[in-house]
Amino acid sequence: MANTKETSTNKQNKISIADCNVTYSVQLVGGRWKLPILMQLQKEKKRFGELKKIISNITERMLTLQLRELEKDGLVSRMVYAEVPPRVEYELTKTGKELMPVCKELHKWGAKHKMELSKK
């Protein structure tokens, strides 16, 4: 990937976005799959295949990409066991666990909002 020029609008936008805490937070968990992955990891660690079965509509490629981003952002940790065949497990980090009350509130809000919308 090419480096972005210091004077580019894109670079300046990234810097200003990073200053807003809400935007920063949403950027970390934004997208279709990150929150469902995090919610599945809230109770216990899971292997890739388990996550794939639970989140049935996600492709393997997308699950891999999302897990890598969550790991890079410090929300998920990846543990590789030296076994044959290799075993890899994912679990929430301390930071990821701190995010769970917010996710649960989003879940409650979404359920309420969805129900209100369906009445209209």
3-state SS, 16-28, equals HHHHCHHHHHHHH
| Contact call for residues 64 and 83 (beta carbons, < 8 A) | no
Q: Is the pLDDT of residue 116 over 60?
A: yes
Both tokens of 110, joined, read 């979404």
Domain ranges of the chain: 32-119
Global pTM?
0.80
Confidence band of 108 (pLDDT split at 50, 70, 90): very high
The SS3 call for residue 47 is strand
At 26-84, the pLDDT tens digits run 888 888 999 999 999 999 999 999 999 999 899 999 999 999 999 999 999 999 998 88
What pLDDT does 1 receive? 45
Highest CATH level, class, for 32-119: mainly alpha
